[in-house]
Chains A and B, each alone.
Chain A
């Protein structure tokens, strides 16, 4: 996706549209695991899906900016790996469950989407720096 779809889509519809489409596609194939796999948390499905959707679409702006700015697939691969490694393997593991914890932490809680939204808006505001296509 980051190797072909993002740079090619960017040529046609620009930064914002590409990020939104990337986010929707990314969400769609994660929904398979969320609904039919074992990829969820202790919150209701509607809540987890909402948090996950907001997070993925928001962070898509960061992914796209890094991909286009660097011209390399490795930037997004490392960002993606950092997300999986730190969120799933470290932050969640080190967090004590106080009863309502699942509603806030991990990819299905409320905090990460808010942080991702902030970064998404920040990189969206810098979209004009991404002018060339790799």
Chain B
């Protein structure tokens, strides 16, 4: 594994009512970490995400998610401009609606835990078994953890 000393990252500046906010696109230059790259993020932000936000009157971060509902995937590009979490009720309402369910955020959270803890566990067992055998290199190429989990990171 070679150390990366020079890399291009996108920094997004949002100016509103005199206040300035910065967001960083965490996508890498190549799609080895996940499907997004610096260039695809640039395209998505400049062509779709930023135009959807310009002249919008947002008072809180959860109001961001509905504006992005017509854009599938591209989580890294979206997150440079903010995203909610499981502990944010408004975000959860949007997420439940997006999934096409008619349950409360609390029930959805339980469903998420059950599904992630069962099917997710099966999925996790494959790379874990590989690691225990010593198959680390293969696993690391497909490594996608915190910054790809559903609610965050």
Per-position binary interface string of chain B over residues 33-56, scored 1 when its CB falls under 8 Å from any chain A CB and 0 otherwise: 100000000000000000000000
List of A residues within 8 angstroms of B31 by Cβ = none
Do B145 and A82 touch across chains, with their CB atoms under 8 A apart? no
Q: Is B15 an interface residue (CB 8 A)?
A: no
Which of A81, A94, A95: most chain B Cβ within 10 A?
A: A81
Contact of A90 among B1, B113, B143 (CB under 8 A): B113
CB distance from B153 to the nearest CB of A (A): 7
List of A residues within 8 angstroms of B149 by Cβ = 88-89, 92-93
**Interface majority SS (helix, strand, loop, mixed), chain A:** helix
- Categorize the interface residue count of chain A: 35 or more
Q: Which residue of B lies closest to A32 (CB)?
A: B1
Per-position binary interface string of chain B over residues 101-135, scored 1 when its CB falls under 8 Å from any chain A CB and 0 otherwise: 00000000100110011001101110111011110
List of A residues within 8 angstroms of B112 by Cβ = 90
Bound CA–CA A80/B126 (angstroms):
10
Contact of A81 among B26, B121, B134 (CB under 8 A): B121
- Categorize the interface residue count of chain B: 35 or more
Do A41 and B146 touch across chains, with their CB atoms under 8 A apart? yes
Give the 9 A-B residue pairs with the shortest CB-CB distance, closest first: A96-B87, A80-B128, A81-B124, A81-B128, A81-B125, A77-B129, A85-B124, A2-B132, A93-B151
Tell me which residues from 53 to 71 in chain A have a Cβ below 8 Å from any Cβ of chain B: none
CB distance from A73 to the nearest CB of B (A): 6
A-B residue pair count with CB separations less than 8 angstroms = 100
Do A29 and B4 touch across chains, with their CB atoms under 8 A apart? no
List of A residues within 8 angstroms of B113 by Cβ = 90, 94
- Residue positions of B touching A, CB distance < 8 A: 1-4, 26, 28, 33, 85-87, 109, 112-113, 116-117, 120-121, 123-125, 127-129, 131-134, 136, 140, 143, 145-147, 149-153
Bound CA–CA A117/B1 (angstroms):
31
Bound CA–CA A36/B3 (angstroms):
6
List of A residues within 8 angstroms of B3 by Cβ = 35-36
Bound CA–CA A44/B146 (angstroms):
17
Do B133 and A73 touch across chains, with their CB atoms under 8 A apart? yes
Do B152 and A80 touch across chains, with their CB atoms under 8 A apart? no
Bound CA–CA A86/B124 (angstroms):
10
7 interchain pairs, CB-CB under 8 A: A73-B132, A80-B132, A82-B124, A85-B117, A85-B121, A93-B150, A93-B151
Bound CA–CA A81/B116 (angstroms):
12
List of A residues within 8 angstroms of B121 by Cβ = 78, 81-82, 85
Per-position binary interface string of chain A over residues 88-111, scored 1 when its CB falls under 8 Å from any chain B CB and 0 otherwise: 111011111100000000100000
**Do A77 and B143 form a contact, CB below 8 Å, given A1-B132, A94-B87?**
no
